[in-house]
Chain A
Amino acid sequence: DIQMTQSPSTLSASVGDRVTITCRASQTISSQLAWYQQKPGKAPKLLIYKASSLESGVPSRFSGSGSGTEFTLTVSSLQPDDFATYFCQQYSSFWTFGQGTKVEIK
């Protein structure tokens, strides 16, 4: 089974900050990685797929990079609506999610 490890678990930031979340796969997954945003009581929302492709309708301040085993999600300028929990997910071999990164207000 492929394990996904995200860091940090919690991130405190202010509006306008540039934030980066890291995701590491236990074995190579090429670019078969997605990022999701989830708010309390809501379903996850797809942000990024194929490691760096922006889902339609997602603001361009979100970007993804990486391949193989190391990946990052970057928010270039954090907005009030972006305070949420973010999950990475591999879909190279079945599906596995990272444990999540909560982005909270500093």
Chain B
Amino acid sequence: EVQLVESGGGLVQSGGSLRLSCAASGFTFNIFEMNWVRQAPGKGLEWLSYIDGSGSTTYYADSVKGRVTISRDNAKNSLYLQMASLRAEDTAVYFCVRAPQSVMDVWGKGTTVIVSS
């Protein structure tokens, strides 16, 4: 079964840092592009970051550029999002998403980040 399982969310103070992880299983991880998408409470979906299969190409949304770093470890079938200088507006559920040819076809259940001011 194709599966993505996020972890690493939690309560963090404003200005703090957090590292989210995503464990992939059931597919050949290293050939798939991956993304992080978030959803603030009661709000819509916001794309945050992209990484290609090899990890050599990354993109970021303007809202998080300079504050987050996406990475992957293909040997561990894992995706990561390092977040720094967190703000109250970063409070959201963070989803790990598989995206072959840019189509977001498999989503994890999400991990919740709460930034307290």
Contact = CB atoms under 8 A, between A and B. Distances in A.
Interface of A: 1, 32, 34, 36, 42-46, 49-50, 55, 87, 89, 91, 94-100
Contact of B45 (A1, A45, A49, A97): A97
Nearest to A34: B103
Nearest to A53: B103
Give the one of A42, A43, A55, A94 with max B CB within 10 A: A43
B105 A100 contact: no
Contacts, number: 51
B24 to A, nearest CB: 14
B64 to A, nearest CB: 13
B108 A91 contact: no
Interface of B: 35, 37, 44-47, 50, 59, 61-62, 95, 99, 102-105, 107-110
**Sorted from nearest, which 10 A-B pairs have the closest CB atoms?**
A95-B47, A43-B107, A91-B102, A97-B45, A49-B103, A99-B44, A46-B105, A100-B44, A43-B109, A97-B44
A74 B50 CA distance: 30
Given A43-B109, A94-B61, A32 B102 contact: yes
A45 B47 CA distance: 15
Give the one of A89, A95, A96 with max B CB within 10 A: A95
A95 B44 contact: no
A45 B106 CA distance: 8
Given A43-B95, A87-B45, A100-B44, A95 B102 contact: yes
Contacts of B110: 43
Contacts of A1: 62
A34 B104 contact: yes
A95 B105 contact: no
A97 B95 contact: no
Contacts of B47: 94-97
B9 to A, nearest CB: 14
Contact of A91 (B44, B95, B103, B109): B103
Contacts of A91: 99, 102-104
